[in-house]
Structure 1
Amino acid sequence: MNISLDKTKLILALANIQDDFREAIIDIYIELKKRHLKSFYSNEFDAVGISSGKLCETIFRFLEHELTGKYTPFNAHISNFPVKVDKLTQLPIASGNESLRVTIPRALNFVYTLRNKRGIGHTGGDINANAIDISTIVKNTDWIICELIRLYHNLPMIEAQQIIDSLNIKIMPDIWHIDGHRRIIKDGLTHKQKVLLLLYNEIANKASINDLYEWTEYSNISLFKSRIIIPLHKEKLLEYNSSDSNITISPKGISEIENLITTL
């Protein structure tokens, strides 16, 4: 599993953070990373933006606690977030580590500003920058988590470094779009998993049996239908319409492939 989705490893990596803050930070970070993975297929960028905002506000509360001994309650709204984060950078040196006082707050403000001012999920304009905006946000949150691991880990140095290095690995989509075709570039998937992943990737979650046969590179279309499509239809993971040969992934199939995406 991707370490950024492994709660047990992240708990060990942030062992010296107070329990309630650690639990909240890790849960929201994992939520953010899962939503980012799903955005490769669904383009649901708003959900990633929401999680990044929650993560910024949670880490801000933790920094408040560490540097001042007080913090904004979790059930209280943080008004004028950028101004309040800037106040942390003005605290005296004796308040705490420079990264907690200056570097992480500035990173939080950048993420929060990009998330708000660029209008994640926007549709206006000639160029759609949602994907690069989200990637930039996620990379910066990865850095913030790595910095917290550096300061608060309770692991042998080599193991802590391995976790930090793993968070810096670029996540690549599992499907390559080329000249109107699709190629699965994720190794180790069964043909049934490939079909569900391909359908999940399509805008309407639908494709023809001929397209799926071609994209999965199955050996024989008759066997593809009898061994792959019909069993998936019977399991209610997809709907095969024999009249027009179109295939649509079901809610059950969507749930199964989302679990696959976030555990491989």
Structure 2
Amino acid sequence: MSESTRAVLGSSYPPQLVDELVASYQEAKTNFYRGGHRLSAVEGGRFCEAAFRILEQITTGSHTPIGESLNTQNVISVAGAQPKEKHPKSVRIYIPRALRVVYDIRNSRNAAHLSDEIDANLQDATLVTSVLDWVVAELVRLSNGVTPEEAQKIIEDLVTRQVPGVQDFGDFQKILRPDMRVGDRVLVLLYRRGVQGARYPELLQWMPNSMRSNLRRTLRTLDAKALVHVADENVQITYAGQRTVESRGLLEPL
């Protein structure tokens, strides 16, 4: 999560709760992309503890201190009883119900699997991380002191996939796998950029010098395999490309 997102949240909600929310969000996302699906759901529960307290703050002006027992059902009931002219439906209904689903998965889902042979951790973690993205985006949208344009940019950034094997140095994306081939590098970088994709000059800049001369040919090959989509100078990863990155374990650094 970017510092701008943290700053927007911190301007509207208690800083301690924002710190807890951001820390658990980042851990949940990192665990998910590293394959730690059960841990991702656990962090989702921790995220909910912070988000429920933020809801308390929004609807009542105060919140249960961190470390004290939290009555989540009471938070949901109080939020639902708020007058519609005072709080939007997102605060009264959508966010509380979304958090309830994630919270219940953390607390009881492992005991409720249909069969010992069916591992639901991946599907649970996929749901959890998607809900976390949505809740953070809603909290940003509801924040004070941010223009609609700024909020939209932050929300778009939230759906950018976090990739442990790529480190961000301002405008430069560095692959932390020196052994990685040019085609795999392209896929990982585009996976990291999400729906935004990347311009050809950006990809060229992020490649080692020895790989730059073959980049155009590599892009044509990946496009022919439907792993990327090339439109003029813009390149985006496809669903098939995303699955390739995940299934081959390309997200991790050495």
Q: TM-score, normalised by structure 2?
A: 0.58
Q: Which runs of 5+ in 1 are unaligned?
A: 175-186, 195-259
Q: Which residue of 1 aligns with 2:133?
A: 142
1:105 Cα offset (Å): 0.6
Deviations 1:138-174 (A, max 9, x none): 1011000000011115444333212212323466898
1:51 aligns with 2:39: no
- Residues 229-240 of structure 1 aligned to structure 2 (within 5 Å): none
1:186-224 C-alpha deviation (Å, 9 max, x unpaired): x94543578xxxxxxxxxxxxxxxxxxxxxxxxxxxxxx
> Matched residues in 1 for 2:252 and 2:142: separation?
31
Instruction: Map Cα deviations across residues 118-154 of structure 1 (whole Å, 9 max, x no partner).
Output: 2189795232221111011110110000000111154
Report the AA paired with residue 88 of structure 2: N
Mapped partners of 2:135, 2:22: distance in 1: 12
Cα 1:115–1:73 change in 2 (3 A) is same
Pair member with larger Rg: 1
Equivalent in the alignment of 1:78: 70
1:12 aligns with 2:7: yes
Change (3 A) 1:87 1:158: closer
2:48 & 2:107 partners in 1: Cα distance?
12
What amino acid sits opposite 1:13 in the alignment? V
Q: Which residue number in structure 2 is paired with residue 130 of structure 1?
A: 121
Residues 111 and 190 of structure 1: CA distance in aligned 2, closer, same or farther (over 3 Å):
closer
Segments of 4+ in structure 1 off by > 6 A? 120-123, 171-174
- Give the structure 2 partner of residue 219 of structure 1: none
Q: Distance in 2 between matches of 1:94 and 1:38?
A: 43
Contact 1:46–1:121 at 8 Å: present in 2 too? no
Relative distance call for 1:155 and 1:83 in structure 2 (3 A) is closer
Task: Sort the Cα spacing of 1:11 and 1:32 in 2 relative to 1 into closer, same or farther, 3 A.
Answer: same
1:16–1:152 contact (8 Å) kept in structure 2:
yes
Give how far 1:18 is off: 3.0
Residue-pair matches, total:
176
Out of 83, 88, 100, the residue aligned to residue 97 of structure 1 is 88
Partner SS, residue 127 of structure 1: coil
Partners of 1:131 and 1:171 in 2: how far apart? 17
**Contact 1:115 1:137 survives alignment (8 Å):** no
> For the residues of structure 2 that align with 1:166 and 1:120, how far apart are their CA atoms?
35
1:175-194 paired onto structure 2 within 5 Å? 188=175, 190-192=177-179
Instruction: Confirm or deny that 1:63 pairs with 2:55.
Output: yes
TM-score (norm 1): 0.56
Cα displacement (A) at 1:38: 2.1
Q: Sort the Cα spacing of 1:96 and 1:190 in 2 relative to 1 into closer, same or farther, 3 A.
A: closer
For residues 220-239 of structure 1, what are the alpha-carbon distances to aligned partners after superposition, in whole Å with 9 as ceiling and x for unaligned? xxxxxxxxxxxxxxxxxxxx
User: Residue 29 of structure 2 corresponds to which residue in structure 1?
Assistant: 33
Question: What do residues 26-83 of structure 1 show as CA deviations (whole Å, max 9, x unaligned)?
Answer: 22222222222222xxxx333212211111111111111211123212111225x345
Looking at structure 1, the residues matched to 164 and 116 of structure 2 have their Cα atoms a distance apart, in angstroms, of 25
What is the aligned-residue identity percentage? 27
Q: Measure, in 1, the Cα distance between the counterparts of 2:164 and 2:65.
A: 38
